[in-house]
Amino acid sequence: MPVIIRRTLLQIQDTFQDGGREVSPPTKLVAALAIIKNPWSGRGFVEDLSPEILDHGPHLGKVLTDMILGVTGDKLEGYGKASVVGSGGEIEHGQALTHTLWFGNQYRDAVSAKSYLAFANTRGAMGAPMMIPLMDKDDVGRRSHYQTIHLNVPDAPAEDEIIVALGASIGGNPHHRIGDRYKDLRDMGRDVDNPAGV
């Protein structure tokens, strides 16, 4: 079953001031969204989601990655992904499309990333808030790039739709000044090569 895309959206946020101070150079957050028909909608509980994952994942990953890179080019620093499933679907439907490597590796490979994609998958009605968490594409311990893109689409997702999204940043959080995980680990006497501290 081929993916049915109702609409794509591209949101670009440039921050010129934050905390009463100029941000120089301005930072940029980019979100690429696809509003698609939920391929499992109206079918009851579907035991095996893999056929639709294979049909949808690579195509959606490529479409959204191309949209992001059309803005960031090779300057992308942070990245993440998210989905919002309409009320007639399951959160597992959004996770099926975003957590598969058929989707994520389109993005990861295109930007030569080393870290995993931060993610958020939720369910909601039209206009529900969507949050796309971001982290540095190469360094999971770099707190300056822990950011969140917060947006919504007034007429999506419909009951039988899913919004699938990728996010990106050029630059970190404006005026970052909370340090990184590595200093915390050193100060706590823990393994600096284990930035998660686990």
At 196 the pLDDT is 64
Strands 147-151 and 130-136: antiparallel
Cβ pair 101, 140 in contact under 8 A? no
Cβ neighbours of residue 101 closer than 8 Å, sequence gap 6 or more: none
Coil vs helix vs strand at 142: coil
Cα separation, 166 vs 134, in Å, equals: 9
CATH number for the domain spanning 54: value is: 3.30.1330.110
At 86 the pLDDT is 98
- Positive or negative, the CA dihedral 15, 77, 69, 32 is negative
Judge whether 64 lies within some domain.
yes
| Number of domains the chain contains | 1
Judge whether 192 lies within some domain.
no
At 197 the pLDDT is 63
CA contacts within 13 A on the Cβ side of 61: 23
Judge whether 194 lies within some domain.
no
Cβ neighbours of residue 123 closer than 8 Å, sequence gap 6 or more: 84, 85, 86, 87, 89, 90, 91, 94
Judge whether 195 lies within some domain.
no
pTM of this structure: 0.93
Judge whether 196 lies within some domain.
no
Tokens encoding 141: 């311990």
Which stretch of DSSP H or E encloses residue 80?
Answer: strand 78-85
Rg of the Cα atoms in the chain: 18
Judge whether 70 lies within some domain.
yes
Q: Which domain holds residue 65?
A: 5-187
Across the chain, which has 198 residues, the per-10-residue mean pLDDT values are 94 96 96 98 95 96 98 97 97 97 95 95 97 95 94 97 98 90 84 71
Judge whether 198 lies within some domain.
no
Tokens encoding 123: 């369910």
Judge whether 197 lies within some domain.
no
